[in-house]
């Protein structure tokens, strides 16, 4: 999902970089407070399987003070997100399709089943049919649950109102000559 380019985005980013440290600090605090509320709202919508809540445990919040951005979702390094690939599928959904599956057969010598390495160290695919079974599998469509990408209108209104107060105070102070 590509984002639409915003007109004047560069000017807004430049303006945000020129904000005084006191105002930036207030904005970061407000993003942290509202971000925790948004994360709790996302966690409440997160689907849970009866045996585990690893998807809910993978939902994190991060405030980037340099760019004054708030990120909520399945974020972190690759190792932290390793078992959570299905979270994106559950959030955005999937279309019905027919996929080709290669299943490795059990048995045989361990040396024959070892994965051969290519000259660049990457795994090579077995070409011999005695090691694999290939079949077609139908995957049903699944509508997205939008627990991460869904809109949070009430929380966005709260954040907007609080940020308007911060910017209003900053502009009044700047107009009075208090901020250098």
**Tens-place pLDDT, residues 100-148:** 988 877 655 555 555 555 555 555 555 555 667 888 999 999 999 998 8
What is the structure's pLDDT at 175?
67
- For residue 108, being part of any structural domain is answered with yes
Contact in structure between 38 and 61 (CB atoms under 8 Å): yes
N-term to C-term CA, the chain: 41
Q: 3-state SS string over 136-176?
A: EEEECCEECCCCCCCCCHHHHHHHHHHHHHHHHHHHHHHHH
Q: Which domain holds residue 102?
A: 97-139
Contact in structure between 87 and 74 (CB atoms under 8 Å): yes
| Mean pLDDT for the stretch of residues 19-26 | 83
- For residue 1, being part of any structural domain is answered with no
Same domain flag for 83 and 120: no
Same domain flag for 15 and 82: yes
Number of neighbouring beta carbons within 10 Å of residue 27: 20
Same domain flag for 33 and 122: no
Q: What are phi and psi of 150, to 5 degrees?
A: -70, 160
Based on DSSP, count helices (H) and strands (E) in the chain, helices before strands. Answer: 6, 6
When divided into structural domains, the chain yields a total of 2
Same domain flag for 101 and 154: no
What is the structure's pLDDT at 163?
84
What is the structure's pLDDT at 50?
72
pLDDT of residue 174 exceeding 90: no
- For residue 165, being part of any structural domain is answered with yes
């Amino acid at each position: 999902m590509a984002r639409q380019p915003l007109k004047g985005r560069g000017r807004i980013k430049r303006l945000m970089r020129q904000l005084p440290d006191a105002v930036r600090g207030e904005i970061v605090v407000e993003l942290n407070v509202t971000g925790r509320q948004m994360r709790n709202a996302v966690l409440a919508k997160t689907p849970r399987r009866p045996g585990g809540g690893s998807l809910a445990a993978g939902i994190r919040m991060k405030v980037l003070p340099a760019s004054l951005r708030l990120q909520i979702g399945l974020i972190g390094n690759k190792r932290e997100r390793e078992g959570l690939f299905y979270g994106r599928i559950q959030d955005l959904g999937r279309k019905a399709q027919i996929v080709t599956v290669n299943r490795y057969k059990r048995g045989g010598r361990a040396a024959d089943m070892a994965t051969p390495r290519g000259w660049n160290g990457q795994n090579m695919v077995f070409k011999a049919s005695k090691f694999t079974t290939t079949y077609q599998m139908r995957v049903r469509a699944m509508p997205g649950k939008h627990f991460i990408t869904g809109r949070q209108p009430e929380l966005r209104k709260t954040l907007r109102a609080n940020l308007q107060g911060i910017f209003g105070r900053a502009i009044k102070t700047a107009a009075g000559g208090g901020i250098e």
